[in-house]
Structure 1
Amino acid sequence: MERSRFILGLALTLLLTIATTPSECKYHSKTVPARRLKEKVTRLHFYLFDILSGTKPSALEIARANRTTDKSATPFGSLYAIDDPLREGPEPNSTVVGNAKGLYLSASQDPANLTIVMYADFGFTTGKFKGSSFSVFSRNPVAESLEREVAVVGGRGKFRLARGFIWLKTHYLNATNGDAILKAKVTLIHY
């Protein structure tokens, strides 16, 4: 009698376990129609101050290749962390409108042809775009004297789903210490 109760209890437990186990464990997603979003084009103009010198630089070298003989301010293989102010004008006392935070890597073996690869978030701290930002992940051939194009690959806030480009032009460059002021003309396409 005891044994039949045990078997009956075991059978009931197994039956309940099987009954409560989900029978379908597939990945699930649901696509819903997006509401009609209107695409916008925004054009911005500002100056980026990338300062490596002084007591409070906005860019710091965080790694350097130990095999380089390059004596320039930004030798090949050097990695920099940046928190560069974005200003309305090229003067050091012009109004700060945001900052570019991220990294750049010196990616050219020829010191005369400085090229960096930028990974940066351009965030705004004032004005109608306060709290919004766009992201850049692109090659920047600094040594080119003309305007050069870098790619915008995303954004947040008012620049959500941004794509576009920045035309950069060197306004000032100190080849000895690496300090630079870049003029930026941005075209963003976003929702």
Structure 2
Amino acid sequence: MFIQFLIFSLLFTPFTIISTIAHDTDDFVRTLDRKMLGLDEKKEKFIHFRFYWHDAMSGRNPSSVEVVPPPLKNSTTRFGLVNMLDNPLTLGPQLNSKLVGQAQGFYASTSQSEFVLLMAMNLVITEGKYNGSTITILGRNPIYYEEREMPVIGGSGLFRFARGYAKLRTYWFSPSTRDAIVEYNVYVLHYY
């Protein structure tokens, strides 16, 4: 009798566990119809933004501040460094050109062998029809490469469900102050 009970338990326990897991899963996740969010009627639009990102670590009002210094003082890559940023985005490379948004987020030095940043930021658009919408970028930025690419992983406002990529090219860099101006070309697919 005990052996029959043991065999019965071994055979049906996985189904009980799977049934319980499936039931628990249904409580917090469900498949949605695109029509519920109005996405069925909307079309996708492919747009291109071009602006300049100003990372100022020097001066009386820096837009980028070091919040975690590199733990190893002799690191040539500043491995472990973390900076918070609230950088202006302008139409031209001059800081006094038209302001079109802010880049808000952080970057961290993540390589021991080359100067590579992990960047996570929201590009907050403040001009035109996209005013108040954000584009979210998260990716690897090997800053000494002539051209870099990082993915657009989403956004808010008019950029909900956005996807795409950003191409970066350093326009100017000061080794003494570590201030930089970077040209961003951002390509975004989004619903409208």
Aligned position for 1:126: 127
Aligned pair in 2 of structure 1 residues 107, 31: CA closer, same or farther (>3 Å)? closer
2:117, 2:143 within 8 Å by CA — same for their partners in 1? yes
Matched, 1:156 2:156: yes
Q: Mind listing any 5+ residue stretches in structure 1 that lack a counterpart?
A: 1-23
Length-normalised TM-score, structure 2 = 0.79
Aligned pair in 2 of structure 1 residues 150, 30: CA closer, same or farther (>3 Å)? closer
Name the % identity.
36
Structure 2: distance between partners of 1:94 and 1:65: 33
2:72, 2:78 within 8 Å by CA — same for their partners in 1? no
Structure 2: distance between partners of 1:46 and 1:164: 16
Length-normalised TM-score, structure 1 = 0.79
Aligned position for 2:90: 87
SS in 2 for 1:158: helix
Q: Tell me how far 1:33 sits from its aligned partner.
A: 4.7
1:68, 1:76 within 8 Å by CA — same for their partners in 2? no
- Matches for 1:27-66 after TM superposition, within 5 Å: 27=27, 29=30, 31-34=32-35, 35-66=40-71
2:170, 2:180 within 8 Å by CA — same for their partners in 1? yes
Q: How many residues align?
A: 163
Aligned position for 1:96: 99
Q: Mind listing any 5+ residue stretches in structure 2 that lack a counterpart?
A: 1-22
SS in 2 for 1:128: helix
**1:101-132 deviation per Cα after TM superposition (whole angstroms, max 9, x unaligned):** 0010012224xx32101010000112121001
Larger radius of gyration: 1
Q: CA RMSD in A?
A: 2.0
SS in 2 for 1:108: coil
